[in-house]
Amino acid sequence: MIQVSNISHFYGNEQVLFDLTFEVQSGEFLFLGGESGSGKSTLLSILSTLLKPSSGELLLDGEAVQDIKDIDFFRQSKIGFVFQFHYLINYLNIYENIALAATDDKKQNINKILEELGILELSSRYPNEISGGQRQRVAVARALVNEPKIIFADEPTGSLDSKNSTIVYELLQDAQKKGTTVVVASHDTQIQNYATKIIRLKDGKIL
């Protein structure tokens, strides 16, 4: 599902990733671990097509990312994101936030997903009207709405208490069990219990 070949990345003159090569099979749950500054968020951004690598090749679902003509549609239809700070659009209500991410043929799934995640009653509220845990569940719902092949999550529980963290991990595990590949970058070692594969980074290199 994910093939990484010799990926390096620079911010200006500073190299943050060094010639990384690895593979993730379809349906795996990958935990990207490492300390702050190890390069895990940069690697996650590159894997999720949000950042172009300085060099190297990335294949997602068999397609070389640099050759994909409509990267926006590819991202929308095949990739789901969960960010640390949920990043919901503040002027859209919960339903509209999820609808913004949904492809036309998946809009009908919105209420079903909201119900599965136990947040259907929040659909007409705005992000500033719900709790942090509820927001992160909305972010997971948004990531799942298009039934993506891969979900990337960057510190998805960074701003949550342990109870809400467990809820988010279980939601990601449910997605993995249904066949979705899940890649999580986190400090939280609790996530290792859910992972089928672990990659640890230090100073931009795989340990």
150-179 binders of another protein (CB under 8 A): none
Q: How far is CA 128 from CA 64, 115, 122, 174, in A?
A: 39, 20, 11, 27
Which residue number, 67 or 163, has a Cβ lying nearer to another protein?
67
Q: Does 89 bind another protein (CB under 8 A)?
A: yes
Q: Does 108 bind another protein (CB under 8 A)?
A: no
Q: How far is CA 129 from CA 32, 56, 57, 90, 136, in A?
A: 32, 43, 42, 10, 13
Closest Cα to residue 3, out of 49, 54, 62, 76?
Answer: 62
Neighbours of 77 (CB within 10 A): 15
Residue among 19, 57, 61, 96 that touches another protein (CB under 8 A): 96
Q: Does 135 bind another protein (CB under 8 A)?
A: no
Closest Cα to residue 40, out of 20, 58, 60, 59?
Answer: 20
Which residue number, 22 or 83, has a Cβ lying nearer to another protein?
83
Q: Does 91 bind another protein (CB under 8 A)?
A: yes
Which residue number, 51 or 120, has a Cβ lying nearer to another protein?
51
DSSP secondary-structure letter at 131? -
Evaluate the CA torsion angle 63, 73, 149, 56 in order and state its sign: positive
How near is the Cβ of 163 to another protein at its closest, in Å?
26
Residue among 13, 36, 90, 108 that touches another protein (CB under 8 A): 90
Evaluate the CA torsion angle 78, 82, 83, 85 in order and state its sign: positive
Q: By rule CB under 8 A, what string of x and - marks binding of each residue 47-76 to another protein?
A: -x-xxx-------------------xxxxx
Tell me the C-alpha distance between 45 and 19, whole Å: 16
Residue among 3, 56, 68, 126 that touches another protein (CB under 8 A): 126
Binding site for another protein (CB under 8 A): 45, 48, 50-52, 72-77, 79, 81, 83, 85, 87, 89-92, 96, 100-101, 126, 142
